[in-house]
Amino acid sequence: MAIFWLTLRNLLNNRRRTIITLSSVVIGCASLIFVWGFIDGINSQMVDNSTGYVSGHIKIHRAGFHETKELNIAIDQNSPVATQLSQHESIVGYSPRLEGYALASVRDKSSMMQVIGVSPDTEPSVTQIEQAIVEGRYLAKGAHNEVVLGDDALVAFKAVVGDEVVLITQAADGSIGADRFQVVGSFNTGIEVMDRNLAYISLAGAQELFSLWGRVSAWSIKIDDRNQTEMMTETLRKQLDSQYEVLSWQEMMPSLLQMLQFHDAVAYVVLFVVFAVVTAGIANTILMSVMERTQEFGVMMAVGTQRHQILLLVLSESVVIGIVGVALGSLLGISINQYFGEVGMDLGQFTQAMETMPGLSGMVYMVTDMAHVWLVNMVVLVVAILPALYPAFRASRLQPVAAIRGLSEEGWMGFHAGSKKPGKNRWIFWQIAFRSMFRHPKRSMLTAGATAFGLAAYWFLYAFTDGFFEQMIENSTGQLSGHIQISAPEFRQDYSPRLRIEQSGALAEQLMDYPEVEAFAPRVIVKGMLASARKSWPVELSGIEPDQEKQVTTLFKHISAGQYVSTRAMDGIVIGTKMAAELGVELGDKVVFTSQQANGELASSAYSIGGIFDTGSEVFDGGYAFINFASLHSLLAFEKDEVSVFALRLKSRSISEAFAHSLNQELLGSNLLVQPWEEVMPIVVQMVDMTKIDFYLILIVVFIVVAMGVMNTMLMSVLERTREFGVMMALGTQGNQVIRLVLYESIVLGAAGMLVGAVLGGLITAYYANAGIDLSSLSQSMQTIPGMTEIIYPVLIFDHIWLPSLLLFVCGIVVSVYPAIKASKLNPVEAIRHG
């Protein structure tokens, strides 16, 4: 008990030391809780919005429907499913659904959309689309030919509420289903993928369109607690017979689950680095606070304190600081999370990037997971205690006389103070600063080590981030888009065949003269519907000249079955692995493509599967297909010298925006638009921007933690030298000279730490840049990211790291100003007695 009261008295008597050490623990703990709350908030929002706007928490299908998506595997609308669902109190809503894909057309514009037939009576109890209506109204009860579209879809169609939409699809019986629907309302969920691609019609209208009278594809269910989804799913499986399949949202939306897993995986990599930085910051401060107390421990032992009591005292101080720091840090972190959990964190400047993620909008609400909080508490508490073990043991082994004289560190490297008199040599303070590093090696190592470790960790994290982005961009441009594309100005709004380049031969000759252009290839591109005997699937179809295309993109290297597009096989089509799985087709099987021609008429053609590619990205493998240039050219009724797009590969990707701007100026008045890859593939840019939100927020937190660690260590190293400064001033050293000495020491230690940190960070990055960071265990989640593969190669970009590195160096110097001024104003006698 005496040790406990002595501990408290020591901590209170040495308030500055206690506050500095405590602040490291508090900031570290709060930072980790904040970062984890942000990550959990994004994940929770993705799930809540995806289930709340589209799917519900659970769905019931006929057995086999989820795997095949065949519409004829449907449920009788009058089956006893609804009766059984009504018996569960935890189910707050359920509604019948009929879902499929259709080609939607408004006048001369068309696009593939997911059509969801819902019951206007019961659907609002499951999803929130009715609450998201921003213009017009929701579907009326009993209406058959009404449709509600997202506001982004209306913009793409150049339509307004009141216009008519034609929906064309492959019906359940294999016939072509078509009908006209009036737009009665538009919704805005804040999520682009939904606002652009979803069309809600009445259940009766969907049954007519898909030839499924009296049947539905699913019952959608909402429960009162999302965390109980798996338990309720199992309960319903046991209640319903084998003709039904019951699926949780995790099973219904594997891409969302993979995105969550990917987000968690990246988060854990980042959190590991954050943990390491926080650990180093706390450990450094605690080590410094113990090792600078040599004389104090010597006095205690001289007056009779036992060695084991010294050990217990140091450990008990660390335990108290750890417990109090964790408590305050948790309170601070949870309070910040709760605040942003209520008001949200407005990431409006990243709204476009956020909207491309499934279920995300521009406002993120933090979530505090107490399991994560307790894990952070445990780690931080251990970190606060363990670093004190070694210096506590060393303190218990001190010789009292030597400790009182402050000799415990002297001679560690054989360097001792010289006897030169200050004054005439203007370099004297630099010399003293350098000598001080070696006279007090442990203090110097801890002070410089805080900077070195923090900088190395920061460099590696930034290199991992940049490597992640570079790989995503390089693979995307290399596999699909090229660096530059030239098309009609409005072509990318709806991919209309009417918008095309008419004098392609003359443009091709012009492109050959540019030294920046390495290769180019013409393409005919259109969006439409690809149908097998089983189902339909939306697709962007490109007609390509294989020999020229191989000079621009590398998709031909990713053929996993069959062969690349052939110049001879006019009826062969190359599709991705995901599309093949969704359509249920293999090499040699027939598929039918339907789209609008250049004259506005519908056209369709049958193709055999000639090749299947696998890029490892579901975005590419499920959304794109390729055929012979001449085949699609003919289907769309193009004239001889007409193409949709020219794709260009430049000698350097870095000049894409500048070259596009220059070429646009030269082609001014030609009715052509030159776009860099950033505009051609906005999903990649938006995915990069979205991931940057995570990374940059975390990098800011890491920088704050690192800076705090450096600052605390610097403060501790100066404030614990009261007796030393007192002796110097008693011997005639002026106050301004003390300030100069402290600042010079800070510069020397900071520069040494920066040098070591830069070398260490560079070596770690160089190693992984060569070996790569293997994320193969996360390959399923990586498929949701366009352009990503299983190996990440960090890239160190100097332009990104020089400013944070400089700021870190400056922080270490600036923070030493206050204790330097305090030291310069010391009373020599009191300072010596304090020691």
- Asked which of 645, 671, 697 is the last residue of a domain, the reply is 671
At 431, list the tokens: 């010399």
Q: What is the pLDDT of residue 409?
A: 43
- Asked which of 241, 274, 306 is the last residue of a domain, the reply is 241
Distance CA 782, CA 776 (A): 9
Distance CA 542, CA 523 (A): 6
Distance CA 174, CA 534 (A): 9
What's the pLDDT tens digit per position in 384-430? 777 767 666 766 676 666 665 654 444 333 334 444 444 444 566 66
Residues 831 and 743 both lie in one domain: yes
Residues 34 and 165 both lie in one domain: no
Residues 536 and 664 both lie in one domain: yes
Residue 210 or 710, more confident: 210
Residues 102 and 216 both lie in one domain: yes
Is residue 499 in a domain? Answer: yes
Beta bridge partners of 562: 611
Residue 70 or 815, more confident: 70
Residue bearing tokens 């399923």: 780
Phi first, then psi, for residue 305 (nearest 5°) are: -70, 130
pLDDT at 330 over 80: yes
Q: What is the pLDDT of residue 412?
A: 33
Residue 578 CB-density burial (10 A; 0-12 exposed, 13-18 middle, 19+ buried): buried
Q: What is the pLDDT of residue 732?
A: 78
At 808, list the tokens: 């870190």
Q: What is the pLDDT of residue 354?
A: 47
Q: What percent of the chain has pLDDT over 90?
A: 23
Which of the four pLDDT bands, split at 50, 70 and 90, describes residue 38? confident
Global pTM value: 0.62
What's the pLDDT tens digit per position in 224-240? 888 888 899 998 988 88
Residues 463 and 336 both lie in one domain: no
pLDDT at 790 over 60: yes
- Asked which of 377, 408, 439 is the last residue of a domain, the reply is 408
Residues 236 and 287 both lie in one domain: no
Residue 591 or 285, more confident: 591
pLDDT at 489 over 50: yes
Q: Please count the other Cβ atoms lying within 10 Å of the Cβ belonging to residue 86.
A: 10
Residue 115 or 448, more confident: 115
Residues 463 and 498 both lie in one domain: no
Residues 215 and 310 both lie in one domain: no
pLDDT at 357 over 60: no
Least confident of 233-247, 300-314, 534-548, 804-818: 300-314
What's the pLDDT tens digit per position in 510-540? 999 999 999 999 999 998 889 887 778 889 9
Mean of pLDDT values over 309-338: 86
Is residue 275 in a domain? Answer: yes
pLDDT at 773 over 60: yes
Residue 741 or 232, more confident: 232
- Cβ(115)–Cβ(209) under 8 Å? yes
Is residue 295 in a domain? Answer: yes
Q: What is the pLDDT of residue 622?
A: 87
pLDDT at 332 over 90: yes
Which of the four pLDDT bands, split at 50, 70 and 90, describes residue 543? very high
**655: Cβ–Cβ under 8 A, 6 or more apart, which residues?**
516
Q: What is the pLDDT of residue 295?
A: 67
Is residue 249 in a domain? Answer: no
Q: What is the pLDDT of residue 662?
A: 92
Is residue 676 in a domain? Answer: no
Residue 323 or 392, more confident: 323
Is residue 252 in a domain? Answer: no
pLDDT at 456 over 60: yes
Q: What is the pLDDT of residue 522?
A: 95
Residues 46 and 166 both lie in one domain: no
Q: What is the pLDDT of residue 776?
A: 65
Residues 397 and 313 both lie in one domain: yes
pLDDT at 358 over 60: no
Mean of pLDDT values over 717-740: 76
Parent domain of 208: 64-241
Q: Coil, strand, or helix at residue 671?
A: coil
Which of the four pLDDT bands, split at 50, 70 and 90, describes residue 679? confident
Q: What is the pLDDT of residue 508?
A: 92
Which of the four pLDDT bands, split at 50, 70 and 90, describes residue 487? very high
At 825, which amino acid appears?
K
Residues 372 and 427 both lie in one domain: no
Mean of pLDDT values over 299-325: 78
Mean of pLDDT values over 252-262: 72
Q: What is the pLDDT of residue 585?
A: 92
Is residue 702 in a domain? Answer: yes
Q: What is the pLDDT of residue 289?
A: 64
pLDDT at 693 over 70: no
Q: What percent of the chain has pLDDT over 70?
A: 80
What's the pLDDT tens digit per position in 580-601? 988 889 999 999 998 878 777 7
Q: How many domains does the chain fold into?
A: 4
- Cβ(658)–Cβ(483) under 8 Å? no
Residues 396 and 431 both lie in one domain: no
Planar angle of CA 699, 702, 703, nearest 5 degrees: 85
Is residue 183 in a domain? Answer: yes
- Cβ(47)–Cβ(249) under 8 Å? yes
Distance CA 197, CA 216 (A): 21
Mean pLDDT of the chain: 80
